[in-house]
Structures are given as structure tokens and as C-alpha cells.
Amino acid sequence: MTKLPDYHIHTLSNGIRVLHKQVPHTKIAHCGFMMDIGSRDELPHEQGLAHFWEHMAFKGTQKRKSFHILNRLESVGGELNAYTTKEKISFYASVLENHFEKAFELLTDITFNSTFPGKEIEKERGVILEEMAMYLDTPEDAIIDEFDAVVFQNHPLGYNILGTRESVSGFTRENFQVFIERNLSTDKLVFCSVSNWPIAKVVKLAEKYLGHIQSKIQPRERLLFNSYQPQTLVMEKAIQQAHCVIGCPAYPLSDPRRLTFFMLVNILGGPGMNSRLNLAVREKHGLVYTIDANYATYVDTGLFGIYFGTEKKQLKRTVGLVLKELKLLREKPMGSVQLHTAKEQLMGQLAMAEESNMGFMMMMGKSILDLNTIESLNDIFGQIRKVQANDLLEMANDTLREENLSFLQYVPN
């Protein structure tokens, strides 16, 4: 067992890692499984299968029907949930501390013992098709996902996590079984928890519920992305407002420059109302209600994107203002006061995010799977404090060149 400043890690004999952070005084236990499996691990005919599995985990196991799964924690005031991303699937729960074992056992059951009943597959197929329709009716969500396909083209990172109507309509129990068999490895799966329980009690539970699981360690080669070509795509839609995403690939999560780039993106269009894009486009000109910039990291690449919605007649002007802000980042180094403020803002945002025990639990699992370590806030703050104005300037010129950008626009027809 390893004891590190804010958490413990214990590896079972089958390769499953148990991560735990003890938080005195809290009455809530957050726990969950995180697997290094996502939509990018699907074959072309499997698009949407990882997300469908997320749904089906709640629909029956060898000893429980759907109702018993859903009622197990809800009846004691707890919450059971799941999510799927490009590279991760997670099943997780939050309960009063005295129901921690109940949550652990249930999560183990749905993760390892799902039976994928045929009738439930048919019902959930309809649910997912409705989810897909709802998403397509929400252009601010749809355009961000569709931008992945613009940047990554036919690479698995460009697949929509929900899949396509055609793929979702054809899945059978065998598809789930084959996908799980191919992708699930005990060394690429972690159980993480945050509660006031001591690590010894958590490890005892882990041995009880996970110790019997057979070790399965198999190599998996993800198709790397290395073929970007900038694209511009304009699509007419039956909508009232024009929507736009501008972006390009960026640094992968293993790149030491990613934190500096995250800081650059935060300055440009982070959650603060004082972001450069918000001040220039919303506050100064009143052209948008929302404008932001985001940066997602993957094992082999990253994705930078700016999103906004505006009137159709203001679209060209708004794009011009965005490109002007990017040009300023490339040409004008930040002053010392601006740089200090940007560092303090980012450190404050990160510290507040870590105040969430649920958020910390999720972060632990992802970080161990991706980097095999968990950086402390003090280490991250140290890296932020070292960033210089020229570092940001060089990074903007390396990544945010106008000729390197892709554009996706939805315009009212």
C-alpha cells in the first residue's frame, strides 16, 4: 500500500487498484469504478456501444432486476449514476457513510455482472434514440460534438459518444459481451472513494467484493491521431440563432506544456466573466449571451475549441472579434499585473474544484489511469507560478495560428 499526501492506493492481487481519500467529519461517502474504456475504443460498427453499456449496467445483473438496482440506493437517500467519455466509463454513487458497503457491493455487481436482457436492450434502445433526438434539438450541444468529427474526421475520436441511429438500432447482447471482453482489463480499472472511513476498512471491503475477480491484463493499442487538416464547414439548420465553434488539436495529457496551455485557454475564455472573449464580445459589443473556450486532453492529442451563439447577421463580425483576440495572444505578451492576476484566478478555480469530494474522487480515478499519479494542488500551483509571459506567447504562436484553425457553423436557413 502506498501512502501519499492526500490519498492512499492499494493494488489487489488481480491488478485492480483501490484509491481512497479519508476526509474527517463528512457524513457522505462517494465511490465508484472508473475504467479506461471509452467511445474511441469502439470499432466503426460499434459506435455508441460504450454509452449504451453505461445505460445497460442498470438494467439487470445475475442477481438483480432493473428495479432492484435503481431502488437499492435511492431507498436510503443515495444516488447512483454513470457517464461515458471518449476514453472513460464510470459507474459511481453517493450515500450516507453507513451505507458505503451497500454502494460498493451494488457498483461491483453492475460493473462485472450485467446480463444485458434482450427486453431491456429494446427498451433502452428507444431511450437512447430519444436522447439522441433531444441532443440534436439542442444546437449548442450538437455543434460541439459535431466539431469533434470536423477535427478528427474518421478517427475514433471523431465518433459521437451517442453513436448513430443505425448503429444503436442494431446492437445485441453479443455486441456488449464482445466489446467488454476485448476492452476490460483489471489493470485499467480502479475503484476510488472519498469518505471518512479509514483506508483499512475500504481495503477490507475491496478484498471482500473484488478479490475473487480473475486477473485479466491484456494489451490494447489505441489508434493514434496524427493526421489533422484544417476544415471549414457551414451547415444550414432550422434554428433561430447562428452557432459557431472554432478550434484545433492541442497538447495531449502527457505533455508537460498542457497546464500552461490550460492557463492560456482560461485567460482567453475560461469561466470567469473577465475572460478576454467575454469582455471583448459580450461586454463591449453585446453580440453574444455565451462565449467560452475549452481544452480537452486525450492520451495522444488534445482539442481546443471556442464556442458562441449570435444573430446570423452578426456571425461574421463575431468571428472577426474572436480572431482578433487570438491575434493579440500571439503578438502581445501579457504584462506582469495581468499575468499575476491570471495565475491567481486559475489557482483559485482549481482549489474550489478540489473542494468537491465527488469531483476529487473522479479526478483521482482519471489521473491514476492516465498518468499513474495524482498531482497535489501545491505541485500544480508551483507549476503555475513558474509560467512566464513569453511561455504563453510562444504557446499561442505554436497552437493558435489562424491557418491552423477549423470552423464549424450552424446558420438559420
Alpha-carbon dihedral 249, 252, 257, 263, rounded to 10 degrees: 60
Q: Is the pLDDT score of 3 beyond 80?
A: no
Per-residue pLDDT at 219: 87
Predicted confidence at residue 354, as pLDDT, reads: 86
383-395: per-residue pLDDT in tens?
Answer: 999 999 999 999 9
Residue closest to 37 by CA, chosen among 381, 395, 365, 401? 365
129: pLDDT strictly greater than 90: yes
Q: What is the mean pLDDT of residues 316-339?
A: 97
Task: Report yes or no: 128 and 168 within 8 Å, Cβ to Cβ.
Answer: yes
- For the cut 80, the answer to whether the pLDDT of residue 318 exceeds it is yes
pLDDT in tens, 256-289: 999 999 999 999 999 999 999 999 999 999 999 9
pLDDT of residue 221: 86
What is the rounded average pLDDT for all residues in the chain?
95
Q: What is the pLDDT of residues 231-240, one digit of tens each?
A: 999 999 999 9
Which ranges of 137-188 does DSSP label H, i.e. alpha helix?
139-152, 165-170, 173-183
What mean pLDDT comes out for the span 350-363? 92
Q: What is the pLDDT of residue 340?
A: 97
The pLDDT of residue 209 is above 90? yes
Cα(93)–Cα(81) distance, rounded to whole angstroms? 6
Whole-number Å distance between alpha carbons of 143 and 152: 14
How far is Cα 350 from Cα 142, in angstroms, rounded to an integer? Answer: 28
Mean pLDDT of 85-95: 98
Residue 374 clears pLDDT 70, i.e. is over it = yes
* pLDDT grade for 5, boundaries at 50, 70 and 90: low
Confidence (pLDDT) at 1 = 53
pLDDT tens digit string along 138-176?
999 999 999 999 999 999 999 999 999 999 999 999 999
Cα–Cα distance for residue pair 29/298, rounded to 1 Å:
29
User: In the predicted model, what is the mean pLDDT of residues 204-208?
Assistant: 97
Confidence bin at 4 (pLDDT 50/70/90): very low
Instruction: Indicate whether 122 pLDDT > 70.
Output: yes
Nearest CA-CA partner of 112 in 159, 161, 53, 158:
53
Percent over 90 (pLDDT), the chain: 94
The C-alpha cell that represents 351 in the structure block: 482549489
Q: What is the pLDDT of residue 6?
A: 74
